[in-house]
Amino acid sequence: MSSLTEKDKPIVQLLLNTGTCPRCIFRFCRVGSQTLYRHPYKDLTEFLKNNQQQEDAAGFGVVDPPCKRIRLEHTEEVPDDLNQNGVLKHVPLVNDDSAAVENSTVEVCNVCLGILQEFCEADFVKRVCEKVKSADYQFTSFVFSVSLPPQLSVRERAAWLLVKQEMGKLGLSLAKDDIVQLKEAYKWIIHPQLSEELGVPADGKSLFEVSVVFAHPETDEECRFLMAVMKALEKIKEEDFLKHFPCPPSSPKNLCVALEIQCNNGAVFVAGRYNKYSRNLPQTPWIIDGERKLESSVEELISEHLMAEFKADSFNFSSSGREDVDVRTLGNGRPFAIELVNPRRIHFTAEEMKELQQTINNSSDKIRVRDLQLVTREAIGRMKEGEEEKTKTYSALVWTDKAIQKEDIAFLDDIKELKLDQKTPLRVLHRRPLAVRCRIIHTMKSEYIDEHHFRLHLKTQAGTYIKEFVHGDFGRTKPNIGSLLNRTADILELDVEVIVDWARNRCD
């Protein structure tokens, strides 16, 4: 049923008398034409009152022509042109002196508490759009989400029971699902207005969300008799409901209030690779008991600039593995990703990303970023995957207590696929479970320096503790460099690197 018919007259009268607004009346009469709801409130009120005074079917026919005329005049356009005033002047005003023109103050609807009254009109739309514009977000579409106070559901139920009863007298039925949902009607009316004002379409899948929370303190007590309102409404018997709640619902004094209008953008993801050149920089902030133990961190040095450019609320940093504070990451770097939460800016060209990368690299000599780019959430998952399969390449500076000669370490180069048993290193044992891990050193290459030092390049399975392989960790990693050389060995420096060829440590 796209519009009102003769049959609806008694219901319309009943609801008008009990203080229900025109749009809610449409809903209970199953009016499905969106355009009808979009007429300005004042016009609808007059509309209905006048239609009630028509004696016959022909009179009700008056309702259709203006609408038909509207449709004809705005053929294929999106029906969001709200200035219907010119057209509605055609509606005959019958008995204009007795037609109680008491429209000086608008009665607050006893069902929607003003949601389909004030809060569909231009003033409120303006208020919302002003808030959105001042929040300064970048967006190409929006989703408008509305939170309504629970008493609306309760009042809806009471109104339905009232209407059902009345229709029953006429031998008609009205199923709950036949009624047009309040939220749906609300969106029919407000979406086109918001869309026009903001200049972008409404889209249920949009990442940019504008949300409004409505409250009606005056009637908050009404729901007391129901626990978990929505669930209870499903279960409660009609008689029990009517015992606790007035039918028809009472007319409130006040409108709802819009408590808050908030905007939120879906997260964006930035990925890249980082190099770490400092031996005194943790990956994430090092804070114990509220005290920062080391200045800055890889995470902060990278995200500081991203946060500023994207104007996000917060970030989440993740990487494919990580290195110790005192270990450098050379070569093509370690993959990382940053989730930027609720960013105000979301569009960046490849040029702009390059500039952003340059800014980060210019800001500190402790780290360097490359391949900075916007990625999807799925890409992050792929980055973390295969962390176990990755092979790592390292360079370690080794010290020995007893003197060594070139010949003493040459044999290391010939060892392939060396199996290690590594108990959880003592240095992490306080926060990791005790276990033995079997790990493989694929290849090694030694570079003699002097009688107590040499450099060792190793290619190992992911998850191998290199430091422990060098010093043995109280014999809890076997074999280890010390046991292989029959000396006491220790590690002075460690770098993570990609080996281009054995002679070079760095690739740029």
Partner 1 sequence: MAHFRICVITLAEAHPLLQNGKTIKSINYQISPNCSRLQNKVSGKSKRGAQFLTELAPLCRISSTDGEEYTIYSCIRGRLIEVNESILSNPAILQEKPSTEGYIAVVLPKFEESKSITQGLLTQKEYEEVLLKRHNNSA
Classify 54 as helix, strand or coil.
coil
DSSP 142: B
E strand intervals along 266-363 = 268-276, 287-288, 291-292, 314-319, 327-341
Q: Contacts by 387-391 with C-beta closer than 8 Å and gap 24+?
A: 387/320, 387/321, 387/462, 388/462, 388/463, 389/462, 390/320, 390/321, 390/462, 391/442, 391/459, 391/460, 391/461, 391/462
Q: How many Cα neighbours within 13 Å face the side chain of 103?
A: 14
CA distances, 442 to each of 351, 392, 412, 415, 473 (Å):
41, 10, 11, 8, 21
Beta-carbon count within 10 A of 361 CB: 16
Residue nearer to partner 1 on the CB measure, 172 or 438? 438
Query: 399 has which bridge partners?
Result: 453, 490
Residue nearer to partner 1 on the CB measure, 69 or 432? 432
The distance of closest approach from Cβ of residue 471 to partner 1 in the complex, given in angstroms and rounded to an integer, is 9
Beta-carbon count within 10 A of 273 CB: 18
The distance of closest approach from Cβ of residue 435 to partner 1 in the complex, given in angstroms and rounded to an integer, is 10
Tell me, yes or no, if 43 is annotated catalytic: no
CA distances, 16 to each of 239, 251, 501 (Å):
25, 12, 87
Cα–Cα distance for residue pair 428/323, rounded to 1 Å: 13
Nearest CA to 423 out of 486, 494, 475 is that of 475
Where along the sequence are the contacts to partner 1 (CB under 8 A)?
288, 293, 423, 426-427, 429-434, 472, 474-475, 488
The answer for residues whose C-beta is within 8 angstroms of residue 363's C-beta and 6 or more apart is 301, 304, 305
Do residues 116 and 28 lie in contact, with contact meaning Cβ atoms separated by under 8 Å?
Answer: no
Query: Of the residues 43, 80, 81, 324, which is catalytic?
Result: 324
The distance of closest approach from Cβ of residue 487 to partner 1 in the complex, given in angstroms and rounded to an integer, is 12
Residue nearer to partner 1 on the CB measure, 104 or 486? 486
The distance of closest approach from Cβ of residue 293 to partner 1 in the complex, given in angstroms and rounded to an integer, is 6
Residue nearer to partner 1 on the CB measure, 248 or 482? 482
Widest distance between CA atoms in the chain: 116
DSSP 252: P
Q: What is the separation of C-alpha 463 from the centre of its chain, rounded to a whole number of angstroms?
A: 34
Residue nearer to partner 1 on the CB measure, 392 or 423? 423
Give the relative orientation of helices 350-363 and 298-310 as an angle to the nearest 10 degrees: 140
The distance of closest approach from Cβ of residue 399 to partner 1 in the complex, given in angstroms and rounded to an integer, is 15
Residue nearer to partner 1 on the CB measure, 251 or 483? 483
Q: Which amino acid is at 332?
A: N
DSSP letter string, 362-413: HH-SSEEEEEEEEE-HHHHHHHHTTTTT-EEEEEEEEEESS---HHHHHGGG
Phi, psi of 435 (to 5 degrees): -160, 165
The distance of closest approach from Cβ of residue 429 to partner 1 in the complex, given in angstroms and rounded to an integer, is 5
The distance of closest approach from Cβ of residue 290 to partner 1 in the complex, given in angstroms and rounded to an integer, is 15
The distance of closest approach from Cβ of residue 110 to partner 1 in the complex, given in angstroms and rounded to an integer, is 59
Residue nearer to partner 1 on the CB measure, 198 or 485? 485
The distance of closest approach from Cβ of residue 478 to partner 1 in the complex, given in angstroms and rounded to an integer, is 9
Residue nearer to partner 1 on the CB measure, 474 or 502? 474
Beta-carbon count within 10 A of 145 CB: 15
For residues 386-401, one letter each, b for 16 or more C-beta atoms within 10 angstroms of the residue's C-beta and e for the rest, the string is eeeeeebbbbbbbbbe
Residue nearer to partner 1 on the CB measure, 101 or 492? 492
Residue nearer to partner 1 on the CB measure, 132 or 470? 470
The distance of closest approach from Cβ of residue 439 to partner 1 in the complex, given in angstroms and rounded to an integer, is 19
The catalytic residue positions are: 324
